[in-house]
Structure formats: structure tokens, C-alpha cells
Amino acid sequence: MSAITAYRTLLRTVGPAYVVVAFLGRVPLAMSQMGTLLLVSQATGRYALGGAAAGALAVANALGAPFFGSLADRIGQRPVVLAQSLAGAAGLVAIVLVTNADAPASAIIATAALAGLATPQIGPLARVRWQPITRRSSDQRRLVDAAFSYEGAADEVSFVLGPAMVGAVAVIIDPGGALLVAAVVLGAFGSWFAVHPTAALTVPDADESRSTTRVLSVVLVALVVAQMFIGVLFGATQTGSAVLATAEGQPGLAGLIHATLGIGSAIAGLAVAALPERIGYPRRMLVSAVGLLVLSAPLLLVDSVAQLVVVIAFLGFAVAPYMISNFAMAGQVVAPDRVGLAMTLLAGATGIGYAIGSSLAGRLADAAGTDGHTPAFAVTVTATAGAALLSLVFAWRSRVGR
């Protein structure tokens, strides 16, 4: 089955509406962090507080994701995602209501954290649905490969579209308006995703006993670490881009520069479905991780925005294949009734890695002064080296296993 045929089969199976709903439902998460940063920074005049609020939202979302993923495995996605979508939308509105120049910093940070905790991880949960959706297909492996390739591309596009929407609404209205738009989109499309008929496929069979095997195997923990590396890459690269753009007097370009990473990644993610099945996930992981290392190394040499855009554009082509391999293997190493937990664990690890990468890169950039972008990008390269080393171990383990 060709990649195009696989995509057509998936679209015909679930219908175009599901694809649109599942995509738009994940965009508010991508909008919330930057929207919070802009709103709090502008309303209070304190960039440190804006960064703390945005970080609290991201970390709380990452820490809460495995809990809600496990709960969805036990009782089905519909009640979990519906409650989270409505609560998350209310949380985003609460950030707008509580944020003003006189508001206590603790209140703003706590509200942002609660909003992040409540916001659902729709991307990972959408991945979970593809296994039962394609269960009756004679070529399920190929269809799931294509589905995961699409989901990887959709995640990348959402994290390009989300900040872009925040910027556009902030210019037309204000940063608070951007968060209110995110709340409306989450309440509408997150709830629609929750009640979509495919959600019924995630309800565990009452006649089947739940798996009693331990979820956190050595392999799954290693995959969580592997995904954390990619989160560090995102955080450090975005920070380094902001430092260099600011040094050149064009701080507004930072978001657009980082968006080129997502564009290349989305293209590569869709293309992964064309790979033959004989190329297993460990080998795909290794090749893409080496690609991350090789393509990120030139970041240490860039000294202009133009050079940076070129390097980041090429680096993006290795991101989605690496992430797709991680999520696919995570789905294979746990029992079918624990896939939701596995997917959200990896998604949470990405968020934690982002916070680590951006914080560490920011500290190094501040210490370096005028050339702060270079040590920030050094964090990116270090993360890709760790990813390559871990992928080499995976490939070796797979070969020994055979």
C-alpha cells in the first residue's frame, strides 16, 4: 500500500470532519503558552513574571498529561477530554480575568498552572484512536504508520499555527483577546473531539481484564528520555533564535524563525509514511537522530538571522521522523489498554524538555553577553548528541534481539 493510498484510506475511514476537529482541538495548547507570556508581560510590565506564568502553564500540562492519559485508558476518552476541554477553556478565560498590573504574581502563576493542568493533550490521544479505528483492516500496520506520520505533521503545524494566531489576534485586538480565542476554540473543538463517535472505540471492554504488567519498562523510560531530548531542542532553539533576532534589532522575527523548524518537520512527517515496512522504527530513530546531530551542528557557526533561517529549515526535516519513531515504539511496548498513558508520557516529556532547554539556554545566553546565541544553540547540539547516542543503543538492542 502506497503512502497516498494509506492516507486516502484513513480519511475515508474516519471522514474529513474528524481530521479537522482533531487538528483544531490541539491548536489552543500551542496558543496558550505564548498567549500567556504576551498577556502577563504586557499587563504587568514584567517579562520575568510573563515567562514564569507561561512556564507554569507548560510544566503543569506536562505533569498532568500522564494522569489524564491513564484515566482515559481506564474509562475511555470521552468523559476525560470533555471535562478537560471545558475546564481548560475556563482556565484560559481565568488567566485573562486575573491578570492586571496590581494582581499578585502568585495568583497569576497559580491560575496559569491550573489552566495548563486542565488543558487536554489531544494530539497524543488522537494517536491512541488509530489502533482501534484500523483494527479491521488487513494492512493495519501500514495504516497506523501513515496515521502516526500524519499526527507528527499535524503536531508540527499546530505549533506553527498556534503562535502565529496569537500574534495576529494580539495585533488586531490584544493578547487577552488571543487567549479568549484559544478558549473558544478549545471549548468547541476539544468538546467535539471528545464526543466524536471514534471516542467510543477507546472505552475498555467490560469483559476484558486490565493488564497488570508494569507500564514503566526500561524501554518506555528510555523513549521518554528520547522525547525529552527533542523538547530540549525546541526550547533551546527557540531561545537562541530570540537572542540572535534581538541582537540584530528584530525581536519580532523570533517566532517566524522558529516556525521554519515546524514547516520542514511537517513535510518530513508526511513523507515518513512512504518508507518501506522493512525499515524498522529503531533504525528510523537512529537515522533521524544522527540527522538531528549533523543538521544542528551548524547552529554553532551562525551569526546572522539569514543563516539561522537556512539551518533551522533543514534541521526541521529530521525532527518529525524522530518523534514519529518514538511514539510508534511507545505504542508497541505497552499493553493495548495502556497506550493512552504511554502517549501522554512522551508528550509530557516533550514539555518538560522544552522548559529545561529554554531555561538552560537562557541562562547561558545571559552569561555570554553579546554572543549569547552560540551557547544557547550549544544546548540544542548537546540534546541532539544525546538523542543520537540513545538511538544507537536502541538500534543495537534491536539487532541483538533479532
Work out the average pLDDT over 18-47: 85
The CATH superfamily of 1-203 is: MFS general substrate transporter like domains (1.20.1250.20)
Work out the average pLDDT over 359-381: 85
Q: Which three cell numbers stand for residue 170?
A: 494580539
Q: Which of 219, 239, 249 minimizes the C-alpha distance to 330?
A: 219
What gap in Å lies between CA 387 and CA 44, rounded to an integer? Answer: 39
Query: At which residue does the C-alpha cell 553579546 appear?
Result: 370
Work out the average pLDDT over 240-266: 77
**pLDDT of the residue at 400:** 53
**pLDDT of the residue at 261:** 81
Q: Is the pLDDT of residue 215 over 80?
A: no
Q: What are phi and psi of 244, to 5 degrees?
A: -70, -45
For 278-294, write each residue's pLDDT tens digit: 788 888 889 999 999 99
**pLDDT of the residue at 193:** 95
Per-chain mean pLDDT for the chain: 85
Contact (CB, 8 A) for 99 and 39: yes
**pLDDT of the residue at 211:** 53
Least confident of 149-163, 206-220, 358-372: 206-220
Contact (CB, 8 A) for 354 and 237: no
Q: Is the pLDDT of residue 225 over 90?
A: yes
Q: How far is CA 123 from CA 23, 25, 311, 328, 347, in A?
A: 8, 8, 27, 13, 9
Q: Which of 261, 289, 263, 285 minimizes the C-alpha distance to 275?
A: 285
Alpha carbon of residue 54 to chain centroid: 15
User: Which residue has better confidence, 209 or 248?
Assistant: 248
**pLDDT of the residue at 185:** 95
> What angle, rounded to 10 degrees, do the helices at 122-133 and 305-332 form?
50
For 56-112, write each residue's pLDDT tens digit: 898 899 889 889 988 988 898 999 999 999 999 999 999 999 998 888 999 999 999
Q: Does the predicted model carry a pTM greater than 0.85?
A: no
What gap in Å lies between CA 165 and CA 291, rounded to an integer? Answer: 30
What gap in Å lies between CA 376 and CA 359, rounded to an integer? Answer: 10
Contact (CB, 8 A) for 179 and 98: no
Same CATH topology for 1-203 and 213-402?
Answer: yes
By the 10 Å C-beta count (0-12 exposed, 13-18 middle, 19+ buried), 36 is classed as: buried
Q: How many residues does the chain have?
A: 402
Q: Which of 402, 401, 377 minimizes the C-alpha distance to 293?
A: 377
pLDDT band at residue 302 using 50, 70 and 90 as cut-offs? very high
The rounded percent of the chain whose pLDDT value lies above 90 is 32
**pLDDT of the residue at 173:** 81
**pLDDT of the residue at 213:** 58
User: Which residue has better confidence, 276 or 209?
Assistant: 276
Contact (CB, 8 A) for 86 and 187: yes
**pLDDT of the residue at 265:** 83
What gap in Å lies between CA 118 and CA 61, rounded to an integer? Answer: 7
pLDDT band at residue 6 using 50, 70 and 90 as cut-offs? confident
Report the number of secondary-structure helices (H) and strands (E) in the chain: 15, 0
Q: Beta-carbon neighbour count of residue 316 at 10 Å?
A: 25
Work out the average pLDDT over 357-380: 84
The CATH superfamily of 213-402 is: MFS general substrate transporter like domains (1.20.1250.20)
Q: Where are the domains of the chain?
A: 1-203, 213-402
Q: Is the pLDDT of residue 346 over 60?
A: yes
**pLDDT of the residue at 289:** 94
What gap in Å lies between CA 240 and CA 349, rounded to an integer? Answer: 21
